[in-house]
Chains A and B, each alone.
Chain A
Amino acid sequence: MKCDKFIEALGQRVKILEVTRQYEDQVTALVELNDLPEAVRFLYYDMGGYLSTMIPNDERSINKHYALYYALSMEGGKMFEGDEIAQDEKCFVTVKVLISPESLVFPSVTPLVPACVWYEREAYDMFGLIAEGLPDKRRLVLSDDWPDNLFPLRKDAMDYRYRPDMKEHYMEPEYDFLRPEGSGIIDVPLGPLHITADEPGHFRLYCDGDTIIDADYRLFYQHRGMEKLAENRMNYDQMGYLAERVCGICGYAHAIACIEAAEKAINLEIPARAQAIRIVCSEIERLHSHLLNIGLACEVTGNYNAFMHIFRIREYSMKLAELVTGGRKTYGNVVMGGLRRDMTGQEIKESLRILHIIETQVEEVWDAVMDDQRQMKRWKGVGILDKQVARDFSPVGPNIRGSGIKRDTRYDHPYDFFKQVKFDVAVVEGGDVFAREMVRYMELKSSVSIIRQCFELMPQTAIIVDPKFHVKPENYSLAYVEAPRGENVHWIMQGSAQKVYRWRCRAATYNNWPSLRFQFRGNTIADAALIVCSLDPCYSCTERVTVVDVRSKKSKILTHNDLKAFSQTLKNSPMKDLK
């Protein structure tokens, strides 16, 4: 059976205490705590794995321990031609360890596998589990003024409605940014809030003149505690809707991943027609999301003309979603066991018409954008994600495919109707902004073809199976969906009474952030916003800048107006009184 090969190989490296199978392509191996780093490293580098997610869990009520699950997607290193595992052997292997509640310590995997860094930082924030040897022990998810010794996802920690009091802003502890050594380095903060940004995040760029030497960032200003909320008061019917609201753009991928994790945990097979329509809707989502990102990548570089055209086309994809699901953004049709809404012949016909428009017009505009040398110069050679860095940090989506690594969940672990559908994985070498946008363009075209194939192939079956199922407490399972930004992985452990025991939702961008630092290095400040944008949570920040003079340790905040006035008149330099 699938996975056995990897378990066997792992067994020769470390002692495996127990092997359990969750689904045909998912197994979990329990190992000794001390063997954890070696087990994960072995699967990651020697056997060709990528880190999909890591789930800390409070299982004291089950086995008197905390547990960690490192889920690896076994697909091959993909660093060169042929460095890939055979299609029918690809699977997920999870390494599990138990941690005693007395010590709360586990050996960090990060020194061996850098991709684990965020996950292990989060394990401390949420559960108070300490990664021994983790190079970076700062807070990740919770705010800096969060009380010590309150670990929200522990089952006995707090009520989900409880909000600890905030500290006064002057009492708030400073976040420790990782600052490179050297004189003459200027800090340029971007964010946390900017009027045109979709999400808050604080980037600290360390610059020598115009060039970014290094960067650090603080995110999670928007942590909403959805996992805790779902565990406390939601049933599976409600969770799908909550998951859809994880993201403002690719929420549908979360809804499917969440519901499919619950379905897989009880081995529920949904009808083929429902599978096909789930794919259709998720590809529609990809259309609008990629058009959005390509448009913004033009806008950030000042190419408003192209931006407007791309958004004009994007409107068709929004219309398409409205036609098929009744909503422009939230499709709201996934329930456990299938779908709530079928497509009529009329809708399919109209969809095909809209798809044709999108296809021809995208080609037209892309052609014009490629023709524009000034645009190309802004994209090419900027924000390079090195192939080896990509291998070490497990990024996902167009971000890694732009670095010449063929990772696509739809191809590696075909879910739902993807077993029947044919498409080419878009891979572009280069690792720069241009490569990533090119990947997106190629995917626009393959999405259109995938939707057409689904319409052709989908059978006339029911769209929902009778959701009378028996939820088995303590069963767990992974589900994975290729969202526009990359693989979304949801992990659900079921509890009693139709509730989840633990829901871990890992969005694509979570895996893309840690390597961003390397993408910044060596670029200019002017490209910083573009680089962040090309990861696809878009960002720009010129409105408000803090100028810090490192030598005199003085700082001053410049407003947009100050800056503008100075740029226009070149009088009253704002730097004057800093000297």
Chain B
Amino acid sequence: MMKLLDISKKYGEITHKYPFEPYKVAENFRGKPAYVYDLCIGCAACGVACPSNAITVQFNENKSKLVWEFDCGRCIFCGRCDEVCPTGAIKLSEEFELAVKFDKSAMIQRGELEVQCCSECGKPFSAKRLVKYSLECLSKANLGEKRLEEAKSYVSVCPTCKKTATVANFTAGKEMVIE
């Protein structure tokens, strides 16, 4: 018993002053994912990787926007989204104070991206930024002039129209030559 009291004396007061002083977390702490809207291209890689479906990337009802949505209440802070994001738009932060007062909607974060419509059928199929990003990547990929021109037209065609076009070309006997 006395020994325990001696130990108390030896180590003194160790209680942290938190919340009156900030609490410093370790480097590489896995806190709340922080989202940078300006960097997000709407590729949905994070939504696919997220094991707990905290992130969804979907069109809104009238398909005028592509909505990136993050529900912090579902997040398990695994960092998969951080790993897969091609542009670094989502990164785990050091934030751990996540309580909200009664209002669960305060845990939801959204980003609305402009949609890209298909140049053939006119239906929206992706985000404008994603199309732009694909082109940027392609232009850095050392492709020939002609090939790049072609790419410009086919990145803005939706998958359904691409499929129909391929089938049509194929049945018409035209072959696509990739240089």
Q: Knowing that A312-B11, A340-B83 are A-B contacts, what are 17 other residue pairs whose CB atoms are under 8 Å apart, sorted by A's residue number?
A: A237-B51, A238-B51, A241-B52, A241-B76, A241-B78, A242-B51, A309-B8, A325-B30, A327-B29, A332-B76, A332-B78, A340-B79, A365-B7, A368-B4, A371-B3, A372-B1, A372-B4
Which of A245, A305, A327, A371 gathers the greatest number of chain B CB atoms within 10 Å?
A327
Does B26 interact with chain A (Cβ within 8 Å)? yes
In the complex formed, the residue of A with least CB distance to B77 is A327
Q: Chain B, 20-50, contact with A by CB distance < 8 Å: what is the 0/1 string?
A: 0000011011100000000000000000000
**B residues in contact (CB < 8 Å) with A:** 1, 3-8, 11, 14, 25-26, 28-30, 51-52, 76-80, 83, 92
Report chain B residues within 8 Å CB of A322.
25-26, 29
Closest to A322 in B: B26
Docked CA distance A319–B26 (Å): 8
**Are B78 and A367 within 8 A (Cβ)?**
no
- A residues contacting the other copy or chain, number (CB 8 A): 26
Which residues of chain A come closer than 8 Å to B3, judged between CB atoms?
A: 367-368, 371-372
6 smallest CB-CB distances across A and B, nearest first, come from A368-B3, A326-B30, A238-B51, A332-B78, A322-B26, A368-B4
Interchain Cβ contacts within 8 Å, total number: 61
Complex: A364 Cα to B7 Cα, angstroms? 8
Do B4 and A326 touch across chains, with their CB atoms under 8 A apart? no
Which residue of chain B has the shortest Cβ distance to A364 in the bound complex?
Answer: B7
Residues of chain A with a CB closer than 8 A to B78's CB: 241, 330, 332
Residues on A with C-beta less than 8 A from B52 are 238, 241
In Å, the complex CA distance between A251 and B110 comes to 31
**CA gap between A323 and B77 in the complex, in Å:** 15
Cβ of A306 under 8 Å from chain B = yes
Bound complex: CA A302 to CA B51 (Å): 43
8 contacts between A and B (CB under 8 A): A238-B51, A238-B52, A241-B51, A241-B52, A322-B26, A330-B77, A368-B6, A371-B1
Q: Which residues of B contact A374 (CB under 8 A)?
A: 1
The answer, among B6, B79, B80, B83, for a CB contact under 8 Å with A326, is B79
Give complex CA distance A323, B27 in Å.
7
The A282-316 residues at the B interface (CB cut-off 8 A) are 305-306, 309, 312
Binding site for B on A (CB under 8 A): 237-238, 241-242, 245, 305-306, 309, 312, 319, 322-323, 325-327, 330, 332, 340, 364-365, 367-369, 371-372, 374
**Do B30 and A332 have beta carbons less than 8 Å apart?**
yes
A351 to chain B, nearest CB (A): 11
Interface of B, helix, strand, loop or mixed by DSSP: loop
- Give A574 to B92 CA distance when docked, in angstroms: 56
Candidates B5, B30, B51, B80; contact of A327 at CB < 8 Å: B30
Q: Quick one: closest A residue to B1, CB to CB?
A: A372
What residues on B are CB-neighbors of A238 within 8 Å?
A: 51-52
Are A309 and B7 touching (Cβ within 8 A)?
yes
Closest approach, in angstroms, between the C-beta of A212 and any C-beta of chain B?
29
Q: Is the CB of B4 within 8 A of A365?
A: yes
Chain B residue with minimal CB distance to A369? B4
Contact B28 A326 (CB under 8 A): yes
Residue of B nearest to A332 (CB): B78
Chain B residues contacting A330 (CB-CB under 8 Å) are 76-78
CA distance A322 to B25 in the complex (A): 8
A238, B5: Cα distance in complex, Å: 48
Which residues of B lie under 8 Å from residue A368 when comparing CB positions? 1, 3-4, 6-7
- When distances are taken between beta carbons in the complex, the residues of chain B under 8 Å from A340 are 79, 83
Question: What's the nearest-Cβ distance from chain B to residue A464, in Å?
Answer: 12
Complex: A374 Cα to B4 Cα, angstroms: 13
Given A241-B52, A326-B29, A327-B30, check contact A332 B8 (CB 8 Å).
no
How far apart sit A365 and B80, CA to CA, in the bound complex (Å)?
40
Question: Taking the nearest CB of chain A, how far is it from the CB of B75, in angstroms?
Answer: 11
Q: How far is the CA of A319 from the CA of B4 in the complex (A)?
A: 23
- Inter-chain CA distance A322–B79, complex, in Å, is 14
Provide the bound-state CA to CA distance between A364 and B8, in Å.
Answer: 11
Which residue on A lies nearest to B51, using beta carbons?
A238
CA A305 – CA B7 in complex, angstroms? 10
- Residues of the B chain whose Cβ atoms lie less than 8 Å from the Cβ of A365: 4, 7
Task: Specify which chain A residues have a CB less than 8 angstroms from the CB of B92 in the assembled complex.
Answer: 326
For B4, what are the chain A residues with a Cβ–Cβ distance below 8 Å? 305-306, 309, 365, 368-369, 372
Assembly CA distance A242 to B80 (angstroms): 14
Shortest distance from the beta carbon of A232 to any chain B beta carbon, whole Å: 14
Q: How far is the CA of A238 from the CA of B52 in the complex (A)?
A: 8
Residue of B nearest to A306 (CB): B4
CA distance A238 to B79 in the complex (A): 13
Q: How far is the CB of A215 from chain B (nearest CB, A)?
A: 32
User: What's the nearest-Cβ distance from chain A to residue B80, in Å?
Assistant: 8
Chain A min CB distance to B53 (Å):
9
Q: Which residues of A contact B25 (CB under 8 A)?
A: 322
Q: Once the chains are docked, how many angstroms separate the CA of A241 from the CA of B92?
A: 17
